[in-house]
Structure 1
Amino acid sequence: MGITDFFSAAWDTFSVPSPDAEAPVQGGSSTKTPASGTDEESKDEKEVNQKDAKSQDDGEQGHKPGDKDEEEEEEEEESVDPKDTLEQECTESKECSPAKHHYDECVERVTGQIESDGKAKEDCIEEFFHLAHCATQCAAPKLFAQLK
């Protein structure tokens, strides 16, 4: 490879192609029909779509709404997470009643502040986390006993 071959290869690599040299269109949709590039149907498309709509009612196979599979899915019940149920029971239990009492009082205070001032001066995040922690601690042994 000579020095001239090197420079011509470098020139070809870094040169910018001319803007009017475009590759011919390959594949894709036709640009010769009047409906091309729009959402409107041409006469031919409209006729074909109408024929297709009529022929679908003539026993065409495929999934249609209301098929057997859909009915089976509706009959299946979603399983309830036992953790949520146990935590709810623990929240209402005697064990977590002090935490629930503090949380309920805080909610009443904050609700009163919002109604009177339009905004709250505090939030009940700390009380909520104490209640959630109590419910989780209460529910954990019961949950693991169910899982065994």
Structure 2
Amino acid sequence: MGITDFFSDLMATVGFHEAHAEAPAEEDEDNKDGGGDEDREEKSVEGDGGGEKAEEGGDEGGEKEEEEGEEAEAEEEEEEEDDEPVDPKPKMEAECAKSAQCAPYKHHYDECVERVTAMHEDPNYKGPKEDCVEEFFHLQHCATQCAAPKLFKALK
């Protein structure tokens, strides 16, 4: 294998290839939706006028079918919502955050929230800007560590 073969193979693998899939024919879709209506209009013009009534009735039937389809979709969505399991993790973590195990972290977080709230309410405050992100993460870590064993027992 020579250097030219190497480069031609490399270019063949890296280069863009043409897509070989065929797109669906647009003419078939047009005939299903709009093509039939044109044929009906031509027949109604040539006929005695009865075709216009049939054409109007066809539109109403299409609207009824759409309404029935929407109702069926709404029923399917309701069934999907009922079948979805409830995630027990947030409830377990909330219980753990209130437990004695995480009480010190909750106490520090609550104190921090009070300080930050007072800082924002006081227009003359010129001290350092503070947030409670660190305290929040400590509390969440404690709640997650507390809830994890309970969660895995509940999922078995």
Q: Which runs of 4+ in 1 moved over 6 A?
A: none
| TM-score under structure 2 length normalisation | 0.53
1:112 is aligned with what amino acid? A
Match of 1:138 among 142, 146, 149: 146
CA-CA distance at 1:74 after TM superposition: 2.3
Partner deviation per Cα, 1:108-140 (whole Å, 9 max, x = no partner): 110110111388721101100110010011001
Match of 1:105 among 89, 98, 111: 111
How is 1:45-56 mapped onto 2 (pairs within 5 angstroms)? 55-56=58-59
Gaps of 5+ in 1: 1-51
How is 1:58-77 mapped onto 2 (pairs within 5 angstroms)? 58-59=61-62, 62-64=65-67, 66-75=70-79, 76-77=81-82
Of Structure 1 and Structure 2, the greater helix share is in: 2
| TM-score under structure 1 length normalisation | 0.55
Note if 1:93 corresponds to 2:99. Answer: yes
User: Structure 1 residues 59 and 114, CA, compared in 2 at 3 Å: closer, same or farther?
Assistant: same
2:153 is aligned with what amino acid? A
Structure 1 SS opposite 2:61 = coil
What root-mean-square deviation, in Å, do the aligned CA atoms of Structure 1 and Structure 2 show?
A: 2.9
Structure 1 window deviating more from structure 2 (124-133 vs 78-87): it is: 78-87
Question: In the comparison of the two structures, how many residue pairs are matched?
Answer: 98
CA distance in 2 between partners of 1:113 and 1:81 (Å): 37
Percent of aligned positions with the same letter in both sequences? 58
Structure 2 SS opposite 1:57 = helix
CA distance in 2 between partners of 1:87 and 1:70 (Å): 33
CA-CA distance at 1:106 after TM superposition: 0.4
1:68 is aligned with what amino acid? A
CA distance in 1 between partners of 2:110 and 2:121 (Å): 17
- Aligned twin of 1:124: 132
User: Structure 1 residues 56 and 141, CA, compared in 2 at 3 Å: closer, same or farther?
Assistant: same
CA-CA distance at 1:61 after TM superposition: 6.9
User: Structure 1 residues 54 and 106, CA, compared in 2 at 3 Å: closer, same or farther?
Assistant: farther
CA distance in 2 between partners of 1:114 and 1:95 (Å): 31
Structure 1 window deviating more from structure 2 (102-111 vs 64-73): it is: 64-73
